């Protein structure tokens, strides 16, 4: 906690201190906002701006701190698709009343963020109102994911698949078996192969193990393998979620077994299993064209979400240099 306490010493304060972290889960707060999730993905490096009314937290904006003091960045941690504001739902209020209240709370949260060289976060698909951040000088970009918002009918879901995906699934079903497993080591081995094929560093295994341990305690994850008769794992998927939404968080396949149709079969099985626990399936769609095309073929609705950012001149220059170094390293 040393870093967090240090950077909050010059935070912009308006009421409730961000150092007084409320670690209790709140109703309708997404899984990625939960303290236990943030402890797993960014231990000792996260905090949250909060707003209270009548002794109850009604708004929160978690963030992760990166970089040295003069170039610190408030962002979201790895393997966390979004953060952004959470606002308590007020049942029965008129639309204009709810919108006005949301804007007021957004402005209060933004004002409580610690001073930093940059801020970069994805907000959720349910938090498209970014006007208070725009008025405060932030930049908002539109990005996309795909959602299946009605998991009620398996027949309707099957009908919504693209023809080539149905053919891939049928082909894979003749050769492969889907297994639910707790084998995190084997998952990481296969998952890492996807990154290696792209010339990227393998994901942090320790972080994956922390996520898995936290999710197991709360029955919040499912690991699926697509295996053949020779016990080769063709593809893997890692799902997390709650009663509202199941997220396709991580997945990949063995590059030497890419023609088996395992990816399509595994995604279809993930959707089928999500029906038993959630109302919505979120593909956590990539902006990469091949990945977007694959996710779109499963019948989901293209859904925008905002990427919100702000940087000082020095912070923007430092981030640009960092991005250039990463691009060079991948060559």
* Kind of pairing between the strands at 139-148 and 301-311: antiparallel
Go through the domains of the chain in sequence order and give each one's CATH number.
2-143+305-329 (3.40.630), 150-299 (3.40.630.30)
Tell whether the model's pLDDT for residue 74 goes beyond 60: yes
Is residue 114 within 8 Å of residue 8, measured between CB atoms?
yes
**pLDDT for res 86:** 96
Band of the pLDDT at 14, cuts 50, 70, 90? very low
Give the residue carrying structure tokens 């099985």: 269
Instruction: Assess contact for 252 and 203: CB atoms under 8 A.
Output: no
pLDDT tens per residue, range 264-294: 999 999 999 999 999 999 998 777 888 899 9
Share of the chain above pLDDT 70, in %: 86
Average pLDDT, the chain: 87
Higher pLDDT, 42 or 93: 42
| Token pair 């959707």: residue | 271
Tell me phi and psi for residue 128, to 5 degrees.
-85, -15
Residue 329: pLDDT above 80? no
pLDDT at 313: 77
Question: What pLDDT is stored for residue 9 in this prediction?
Answer: 30
| pLDDT digit string, tens, across residues 226-275 | 999 999 999 999 999 988 999 999 999 999 998 999 999 999 999 999 99
Neighbours of 303 (CB within 10 A): 18
């Amino acid at each position: 906690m040393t870093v967090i306490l240090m950077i909050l010493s010059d935070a912009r304060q308006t009421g409730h201190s961000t150092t007084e972290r409320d670690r209790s889960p709140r109703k309708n707060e997404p899984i990625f906002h939960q303290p236990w999730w943030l402890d797993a993905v960014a231990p000792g490096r996260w905090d949250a701006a909060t707003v209270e009314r009548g002794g109850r937290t009604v708004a929160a904006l978690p963030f992760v701190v990166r970089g040295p003091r003069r170039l610190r960045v408030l962002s979201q941690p790895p393997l966390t698709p979004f953060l952004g504001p959470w606002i308590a739902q007020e049942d029965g209020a008129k639309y204009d009343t709810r919108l006005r209240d949301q804007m007021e709370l957004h402005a209060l949260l933004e004002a409580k963020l610690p001073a930093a060289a940059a801020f970069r976060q994805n907000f959720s698909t349910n938090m498209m109102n970014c006007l208070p951040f725009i008025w405060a000088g932030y930049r908002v970009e539109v990005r996309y994911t795909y959602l299946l918002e009605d998991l009620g009918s398996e027949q309707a879901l099957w009908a919504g698949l693209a023809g080539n995906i149905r053919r891939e699934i049928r082909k894979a079903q003749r050769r492969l078996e889907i297994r639910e497993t707790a084998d995190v080591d084997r998952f990481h081995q296969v998952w890492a192969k996807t990154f290696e094929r792209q010339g990227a560093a393998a994901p942090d295994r320790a972080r994956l193990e922390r996520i898995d341990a936290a999710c197991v305690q709360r029955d919040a994850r499912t690991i699926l393998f697509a295996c053949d008769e020779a016990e080769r794992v063709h593809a893997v998927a890692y799902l997390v979620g709650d009663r509202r939404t199941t997220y396709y968080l991580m997945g990949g396949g063995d590059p030497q077994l890419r023609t088996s149709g395992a990816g399509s079969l595994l995604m279809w099985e993930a959707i089928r299993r999500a029906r038993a626990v959630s109302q919505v399936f979120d593909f956590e769609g990539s902006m990469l064209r091949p990945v977007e095309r694959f996710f779109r073929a499963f019948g989901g609705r293209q859904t925008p979400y905002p990427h919100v950012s702000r940087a000082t001149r020095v912070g923007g220059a430092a981030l640009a240099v960092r991005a250039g170094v990463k691009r060079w390293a991948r060559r």
